[in-house]
Structure 1
Amino acid sequence: MIAHVLRLLFAALFCLASLTALAEPLTRDDLGAVLPQPYTLGEKLTETGVYQLLNIGQIDAGYVFETEPLAPLPGFSGAPINMLVLLDPDGQFLDVRLIEQNEPIFVSGLGEAPLREFFEQYAGLSITSSIVVGTPYGDSSGGSSLVYLDGVTKATASVRIAHESIMGAALAVARDKMQGLSLQPPAFPDPDHRETLTWEDLVEQGIASRLLVANSEVDAAFSGTLWEDDDPDARADPDAPYLDLWVVDIGPQSIARAVLDDEGFTELRNFLAISEHDEPILVIETARHGLVGPDFVRNTAPGLLSAEQGGFPIALRDADLFFGLAEGVPDGTALILRTDRRLGFDPASEWTLTVQAVREHGVFQPQSGSVALALNHSTPARFFTRPAPVVAAPPWRSALMERRSDLILLAVGLSILVTVLLLRTNALAALRMFTPVRLAVLALVICFVGWWGQGQLSIVTVLGVLRSAVEGGSLAFLLYDPFSLLIWVVTIAGFILWGRGLFCGWLCPFGAMQEFTHHLGRLLRLPRYDPSRRWDKRLKWVKYILLAGMIATVFVAPDHVDTVAEIEPFKTAVTTLFLRDWYYVAYAAAWLIAGMVLFKGFCRYVCPLGAVMAIGGLLRGRDWIARRKECGSPCQLCRVKCSYGAIEPSGRIQYSECFQCLDCVSIHDDPTRCVPLVLKSRAPQRPSSSSRTQTAAS
């Protein structure tokens, strides 16, 4: 019968799969509705929903996009977490906001507030940084360039999935739209590099770059414009230099010492001791341009100078240093500019300095025009060192490291439990203190596996796996919760050895809670209700019907999966420790209270995960509970004593309903309770043949 149900479920699964479709990006209006102020949407750049981000005054501010179309990593509901990401042109996060999620822990457990607070940590971070979720461990605790984000208690796996989606989508946009963005750590001056250099050496080796522009060349650049006749000095002496520009990166000490006098070198070193992330650039202009305009203010960005690298702007600012030049260095207007390496500038790679040549036309309210004069500059790599890229550990490895202590304890506990149940089942069941031992194990399951480890398996994971398998999605989300994954692995292996009994009887925290309430009901001498055998068989089909309905919901109305998953009270009783809205608490408490009179009613009749376990139990490779020929005919003791109704009148064990409580095993081996053994012990001993011969002879 179960095999028939299995075939029907999978047939329904593949039929419903044809009704699903991949998520489409939000429309422009919908995306604009969730976009934070003061930003607005610009041009749509890709079919995957990447838009230009505009600031006040319609100024280009970067990119805005959803994560789901670009990095649809499924969460524990089987559906991706969709977020809105605002990225500036330099690859820094401006904002990250939640659009939609169906993670069970956030839908009705913790609520969305902790998830939204988690996203607030991204503002100001760069996609070039190695960002991880969690806390430092091992060698990462000191001096690491990893950037750590605080996770969300009880939901670390879900926020790690969200983080990987954010980074995956952001890097996809960077590769497509920010070709010049360097994803490697920037170089910085090597403090150990020593080299004696002169100005002539700098010029000869190209360490000092020069841009020489004659008046005639500037005239040619303005030719045909309104300003072509507005520089009489250029017309008077066309061969004279208009711009004679030298550029030197003086971050490396050897280069700085070659161009600055002693006082200037000391001043620079003091400056860099405070501004350790700044790269100083010396610019010298010996012709008539002058580098700065009449309104220039020290310690600000010079209006006539700009720079770019790889197609992206470099922020330049006057370092406000007073310095003298070394002997032999050209004399002229000299500035030391600074740029922050943390903003993407790589001094070991080529970059471009642009100087604006400005002219004005007219006397009253003159009109200004300009042309750009560009100089490419690079400094030899020998003066720099580049830190090895810090590669963040894969999310699954980070999850393993963060929970390694819990995983070790869980692995040891599971190994002991499986070994005892496999090799010493009868000895365990025969213990005089078997019930206290079992209750002690179940108490550990509730406290360690459930409340502490958050290892309560759920139907949500099963539905997520099914949906990912049908849609060809990734199952990587399972790796984000290694604690539960280990329980899943042992549970599935237990199918072959015992059927569903290992998990449902020994490893389910909510099932363990119901068993405790059952014993509490006995202590309180409450009546016990057992449905008739006919109704017991009928009620056991309810869980399969619920499972089929939940599978249908996943593919027909996936947005409501979190709602129907509330059939399970696990999230309330285990994940949130009953800290939820009153109606969820009342529902979970009702099943526990019902367990005082109806033995594990939820597990036996309602649990959709139990239905999955029962189907998985078809993999069982042996009948592990010993039977005698008298079992069922005439002896019915084990059937009567089985609280789960898992023994048929014929004496056959219905393993799809067996919870491995071992009650029947203890009866089977007890000569004072097993009816066939009791009858055998009471039967008169027949005399042996030798005894009869002696009697006859006498």
Structure 2
Amino acid sequence: MPSCFSRFACLRMLVLVCALFSQALAAEGLQEEILQLFPKATRIEPKQESPPVYSVYQLDELLGYAFESSDYSSLQGFSGKPIRLLIGMDLQGVLAGVRVLEHHEPVFLYGLGVQPLLDFVEQYRQHPIGRPIIVGGRRSDSAEGESTTQFDGVSKATVSVVILNETVLQAAMSVARQLLDGFASAPLATPKRELYQPMDWQRLLDKGYVQRWSLGREEVEAELGHPLSDYPEFEQADDDGPFSELHFAYLNAPSMGRNLLDAAGWQKLNEQLQSGEQALLVLSSGLYRHVPADFTPATAPSRLLLMQNDQAIELYDMHFNNGEVLEMLATPLRNVDAHIFRIKSHAAFNPAQPAALQLNVSLRRNHLVESHSHFSRAFQLDQQLFDIQQAVAPAEPVPIWLRMWQERWWQIALLVGALILLSGVFIFQHRISAHSRGFHLFRSGFLLFTLVFIGLYAQGQLSVVNIFTLLQTLWDGFDIRIFLMDPLIFILWSFTFVSLFLWGRGLFCGWLCPFGALQEILGWVAKALRIRQWKITERNHLRLQKLKYVILLGLLLSACYSLSLAERLAEVEPFKTSITLFFVRSWPFVLYALILLGLGLFVHKFYCRYLCPLGAGLAVLGKYHLFAWLKRIDACGKPCQHCRNHCEIGAIERDGRIDYDECIQCLECIVILNNDDQCVASISAHKQAQKAGKRENREAIIVSDWQPQPAD
């Protein structure tokens, strides 16, 4: 017994020593990375436990902290694995920089290369974490305030960089709230719901429940350094009146909200506000309103910010239209713009603490010169309106996947509409295909939509790599949020999966694959140029068809061994080069894609028919489709071969049967079948009917001309 105990103790000691040694090696490995974030550092303390940070010193002076994002954020990248970062931050909450320690994002590993990722994270250097960051794109209006920062995004990698940005900010704010002055949440305040006293507009102004802020022309001109007449938009403006006059009020407190809104408006506001969210009413008049004329509802205005503890808080329009807000307001103001803005829970806004409203002014003198400035109006709400309580853990922010769906709402709506339309065409294919010219115009237009919008613009090209991501999540623990990160890919995969069991793989391959659409368009070019098509014997055609299944099997086996290897081998798909990156890539990849497209000029959809592993995988699942919607008649294949000769994909057997594993459901055979001037059987039957009709007419003439002779 003592011997066993001593062995067990020795084993535990050995494990502990190995753990400490590996931890020391990891810390030593980060020393160089941390020194690149803090070049003046002379000493780096070992990683502390709570919070897990490395304290960085220059002699005895604390410079800041370095920390790993994986200790504070579990956000998964588009690959299904977190992006591991090393973040440096000084004592004022300014980022010393960000270093990428580990990532598995396919677009950077096997597409764009790592340099665009490094260029993106370099933008965090010397950025204060209290300033909101806009990644890529522009806001709904052109004015950009000084309290926001716009980072250049990475084209073709939008999801990855948005997740990276959220990872940086989550980790940095978590450390700042625990270790830095000015970031810790003050005691929170919640409005006293039972405290209410009816008041009119003037009484609300007198008590400070409605704040009035008038910004004069002279103040603005002094700050800008130019008279307003130098700016084209104000050349014809009257000299009377303020530059901007704003009224604003905090609506959550009944003494303010119930007195300003009518009963229906107060009820609607409370129904739309989620737990922990707050609302701010803003009205403005004058030359410069709080939103421009082209402001897009349900977005964040760049002209307006809420400030507290020197931190900028973004306001989000609650999508009450201007007329609706004015109708529910009890105010004598006229000719004003009115909006109700949402303050999200993760902003940790405390209404009982001093705050300020900031108006960002951006005026263009000409097409080259633009003047920027901002003005603030401090305010303090009556603390007696609130119950003061100690801060609790901050509420979870809006999930990234939900934000991605909200930001891409119009793309989602357009795609869903197109899929509904396509489903209708397939359901009523026999009725629609009877109009041959109209159907061909529709198919041509839809293929152009697939290539331009789904593929090149919305980046909705499905790939066998998506299957590898699914395998990875199933292995590590399925999390649907990974797939929800890209709403268009999620919708396309969901629709494709359902359609496989209705119509087979043809609906996706023939209508929704951008690379397939590109090949078909090249087929049009080949016909227009009268390029002679290569004839592949039926025997070789059947052999080549099996090649894509061999490629699929090889990729699946490689995925079992190494997902990274499988993702590299998946470059057999030219989708990333041609559709995702639009040929902006190193020459071997571009040459490979061009060769495949070039072969498509001589052999219709060469890649789809013989090499595509995604098509092979869909064909395997499509074997279980419920319906055989492509109608056949007795004459098909016995003896008529007209449809077979016109099937450019080679999916019709000699006996007239459809090979649904290979069919892309272009519906050309249905068009032929449902048009009497194209279907050979219908033409033949029509000719026979005409001949029969002529024979009957001739016999009738003979009978009518014959007269019986009288007997002798």
Query: Which category of TM-score, normalised to the shorter sequence, fits these structures?
Result: 0.5 to 0.7
**Residue in 1 that maps onto 2:161:** 159
5 Å matches for 1:382-461?
393-428=398-433, 430-432=435-437, 434-461=439-466
Superposition deviation, residue 597 in structure 1: 0.4
**Residue in 2 that maps onto 1:53:** 55
Partner secondary structure for residue 454 of structure 1: coil
Superposition deviation, residue 671 in structure 1: 2.7
Report the residue type matching 2:531 in the other structure: L
1:134 touches 1:151 (CA, 8 Å); kept in 2? yes
How many Å separate the matches in 2 of 1:545 and 1:65? 46
Change (3 A) 1:530 1:471: farther
5 Å matches for 1:662-673?
662-673=667-678
Is 1:603 the counterpart of 2:608 in the alignment?
yes
Report the residue type matching 1:80 in the other structure: P
Structure 1 counterpart of 2:82, from 80, 83, 89: 80
Structure 2 counterpart of 1:615, from 615, 620, 637: 620
Cα RMSD (Å) of the superposition? Answer: 4.5
Change (3 A) 1:685 1:383: closer
**Residue in 1 that maps onto 2:45:** 42
**Residue in 1 that maps onto 2:109:** 107
**Residue in 2 that maps onto 1:462:** 467
How many Å separate the matches in 1 of 2:123 and 2:411? 27
Partner secondary structure for residue 498 of structure 1: coil
How many Å separate the matches in 1 of 2:415 and 2:521? 22
**Residue in 2 that maps onto 1:576:** 581
How many Å separate the matches in 1 of 2:349 and 2:684? 91
Structure 2 counterpart of 1:513, from 513, 518, 528: 518
How many Å separate the matches in 2 of 1:666 and 1:346? 67
**Could you list the per-position Cα deviations for residues 124-167 of structure 1 after superposition, in whole angstroms to 9, with x for gaps in the alignment?**
55667766645675799899988765432332111112223334
5 Å matches for 1:206-355?
none
5 Å matches for 1:508-657?
508-657=513-662
Superposition deviation, residue 562 in structure 1: 4.2
Superposition deviation, residue 457 in structure 1: 1.8
Report the residue type matching 1:639 in the other structure: R
**Residue in 2 that maps onto 1:16:** none
**Residue in 1 that maps onto 2:481:** 476
How many Å separate the matches in 2 of 1:127 and 1:532? 66
Report the residue type matching 1:409 in the other structure: L
Report the residue type matching 1:52 in the other structure: Y
Report the residue type matching 2:160 in the other structure: S
**Residue in 2 that maps onto 1:318:** none
How many Å separate the matches in 2 of 1:68 and 1:554? 26
1:498 touches 1:620 (CA, 8 Å); kept in 2? yes
Change (3 A) 1:595 1:120: same
Mean alpha-carbon deviation: is it higher for 161-170 or for 509-518?
A: 161-170
Partner secondary structure for residue 623 of structure 2: helix
2:622 touches 2:661 (CA, 8 Å); kept in 1? yes
**Could you list the per-position Cα deviations for residues 569-623 of structure 1 after superposition, in whole angstroms to 9, with x for gaps in the alignment?**
1222122222222222211111111100011111122122222322332352211
**Could you list the per-position Cα deviations for residues 445-480 of structure 1 after superposition, in whole angstroms to 9, with x for gaps in the alignment?**
222222222222222222112211221043323222
**Residue in 1 that maps onto 2:15:** none
How many Å separate the matches in 1 of 2:580 and 2:125? 30
2:533 touches 2:602 (CA, 8 Å); kept in 1? yes
Superposition deviation, residue 61 in structure 1: 4.5
Change (3 A) 1:626 1:135: same
**Could you list the per-position Cα deviations for residues 32-51 of structure 1 after superposition, in whole angstroms to 9, with x for gaps in the alignment?**
3433142564313359x955
How many Å separate the matches in 2 of 1:386 and 1:473? 42
How many Å separate the matches in 2 of 1:553 and 1:101? 20
Partner secondary structure for residue 454 of structure 2: helix
How many Å separate the matches in 2 of 1:631 and 1:102? 52
Superposition deviation, residue 516 in structure 1: 1.6
2:66 touches 2:86 (CA, 8 Å); kept in 1? yes
Change (3 A) 1:677 1:429: closer
How many Å separate the matches in 2 of 1:537 and 1:185? 73
Mean alpha-carbon deviation: is it higher for 643-652 or for 127-136?
A: 127-136
How many Å separate the matches in 1 of 2:351 and 2:627? 69
In structure 2, runs of 5+ residues without a counterpart are: 1-21, 190-207, 209-307, 313-347, 354-381
Higher Rg of the two aligned structures: 1
How many Å separate the matches in 2 of 1:60 and 1:422? 70
Superposition deviation, residue 509 in structure 1: 1.4
How many Å separate the matches in 2 of 1:145 and 1:486? 36
**Residue in 1 that maps onto 2:333:** none
In structure 1, runs of 5+ residues without a counterpart are: 1-23, 189-252, 254-338, 350-379
Change (3 A) 1:158 1:530: farther
Report the residue type matching 2:411 in the other structure: D
Partner secondary structure for residue 30 of structure 1: helix
Change (3 A) 1:433 1:341: closer
Mean alpha-carbon deviation: is it higher for 470-479 or for 72-81?
A: 72-81
How many Å separate the matches in 2 of 1:50 and 1:555? 35
**Residue in 2 that maps onto 1:495:** 500
Mean alpha-carbon deviation: is it higher for 383-392 or for 574-583?
A: 383-392
- Percent same amino acid at aligned positions? 35
1:426 touches 1:666 (CA, 8 Å); kept in 2? no
1:105 touches 1:111 (CA, 8 Å); kept in 2? yes
**Residue in 2 that maps onto 1:316:** none
Report the residue type matching 2:598 in the other structure: I
Report the residue type matching 2:642 in the other structure: L
How many Å separate the matches in 1 of 2:449 and 2:606? 22
Partner secondary structure for residue 45 of structure 2: strand
How many Å separate the matches in 2 of 1:475 and 1:141? 37
2:156 touches 2:459 (CA, 8 Å); kept in 1? yes
How many Å separate the matches in 2 of 1:598 and 1:453? 29
Change (3 A) 1:94 1:599: same
**Residue in 2 that maps onto 1:199:** none
Change (3 A) 1:185 1:398: farther
Partner secondary structure for residue 397 of structure 1: helix
Change (3 A) 1:653 1:643: same
Change (3 A) 1:415 1:557: same
TM-score, normalised relative to structure 2: 0.59
1:594 touches 1:601 (CA, 8 Å); kept in 2? yes
How many Å separate the matches in 1 of 2:52 and 2:547? 47
Partner secondary structure for residue 565 of structure 2: helix
How many Å separate the matches in 1 of 2:30 and 2:595? 43
Partner secondary structure for residue 632 of structure 2: coil
Partner secondary structure for residue 602 of structure 1: helix
How many Å separate the matches in 1 of 2:122 and 2:151? 10
How many Å separate the matches in 2 of 1:586 and 1:44? 49
Change (3 A) 1:654 1:151: same
Report the residue type matching 2:116 in the other structure: P
2:130 touches 2:310 (CA, 8 Å); kept in 1? no
How many Å separate the matches in 2 of 1:403 and 1:390? 24
Mean alpha-carbon deviation: is it higher for 388-397 or for 649-658?
A: 388-397
1:187 touches 1:384 (CA, 8 Å); kept in 2? no
